[in-house]
């Protein structure tokens, strides 16, 4: 019978399988472009730019996310219960107490950031604090602490590095095809160039899909880890149900951003409409709430 432990182990394996596949895609594209250009110089430049930008984002992730979301430090008197919950669960998890922030927004949501447990940040919206009872709030905080403990910021940052790297290489290669460059004296069948061009165009889309798939797996992992931390999966399951229903009623967050959407416990844009809804889970950074609740509570008899 599937348990939270099997969900946890399964998602860890799937995440690293996706990351390995991601690395192989990057290596293949890098090798193909360097072969076509018959030069390593531009490849090195692309790598340096992509890695430098994302390393900076990783080391300053807490400051960047706080600024983008408009979060501010939670007053220890006004939000005493929130501070107590964070401190108690951090002790239970064996983590340093993260800094506690609040976002003024009626849409219920929460996120965690910080490059390591010593620089961890947990933030909740005022809508979340008003909506949930203590047990449900504990489930949400445990989920966010699990992101910090599982080093999910590192995993997501590596995914961003790789996705950005693929996009830069693809754009560079397409420009060279149209404006000249590379070794054109090789006796290569034209179909090879056609298939190569199609692959390069589709590569950034594939990279983004892999990045989103990794994000969804980390959400399942944080759900399982958070439930194991509180020993009460019903609390997080109830919180997810309330968050989903309330988000549909009030809409998305005012300062929602695609750059930070994967950090939140629930999709900050609210219910998808139009083409996004028709594409289903393909371009979502979060798994469906129904699947998350089922994973937490197990099969209902």
| Rounded Cα–Cα distance for residues 7 and 2 (Å) | 7
Long-range contacts of 27-34 (CB under 8 A, 24+ apart): 29/166, 29/169, 29/170, 29/200, 29/203, 30/169, 32/196, 32/200, 33/169, 33/172, 33/173
Which listed residue (136, 138, 144, 219) is catalytic?
Answer: 144
Residue 294 CB-half CA count within 13 A:
8
| Rounded Cα–Cα distance for residues 236 and 260 (Å) | 22
Q: How does strand 121-125 pair with strand 110-113?
A: antiparallel
Residue 274 CB-half CA count within 13 A:
1
Examine the residue annotation and report whether 248 is marked as an active-site residue of this protein. Answer: no
Q: Report the residue count for the chain.
A: 301
> Which residue numbers are catalytic?
144
């Amino acid at each position: 019978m599937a348990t939270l432990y099997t969900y946890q182990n399964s998602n860890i394996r799937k995440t690293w399988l996706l990351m390995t596949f991601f690395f192989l895609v990057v290596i293949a594209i890098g090798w193909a472009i360097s072969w076509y250009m018959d030069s390593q110089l531009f490849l090195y430049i692309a790598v340096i730019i992509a890695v430098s930008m994302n390393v900076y984002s990783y080391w300053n992730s807490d400051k960047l996310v706080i600024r983008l979301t408009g979060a501010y430090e939670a007053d220890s008197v006004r939000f005493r219960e929130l501070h107590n919950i964070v401190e108690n669960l951090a002790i239970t998890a064996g983590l340093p107490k993260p800094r506690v922030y609040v976002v003024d927004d009626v849409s219920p949501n929460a996120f965690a950031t910080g490059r390591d447990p010593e620089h961890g940040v947990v933030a909740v919206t005022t809508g979340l604090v008003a909506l949930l009872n203590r047990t449900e709030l504990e489930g949400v905080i445990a989920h966010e602490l699990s992101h910090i403990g599982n080093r999910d910021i590192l995993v997501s940052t590596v995914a961003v590095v790789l996705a950005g790297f693929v996009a830069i290489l693809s754009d560079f290669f397409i420009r060279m095809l149209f404006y000249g460059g590379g070794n054109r004296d090789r006796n290569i069948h034209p179909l090879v160039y056609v298939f190569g061009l199609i692959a390069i165009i589709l590569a950034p889309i594939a990279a983004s899909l892999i990045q989103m798939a990794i994000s969804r797996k980390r959400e399942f992992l944080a759900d399982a880890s958070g439930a194991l931390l509180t020993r009460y999966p019903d609390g997080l399951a109830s919180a997810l149900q309330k968050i989903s229903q309330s988000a549909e009623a009030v809409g998305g967050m005012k300062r929602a951003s695609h750059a930070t959407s994967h950090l939140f416990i629930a999709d900050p844009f609210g219910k998808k409409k139009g083409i996004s809804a028709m594409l289903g889970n393909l371009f979502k950074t979060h798994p469906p709430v129904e699947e998350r609740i089922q994973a937490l509570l197990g099969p209902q008899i």
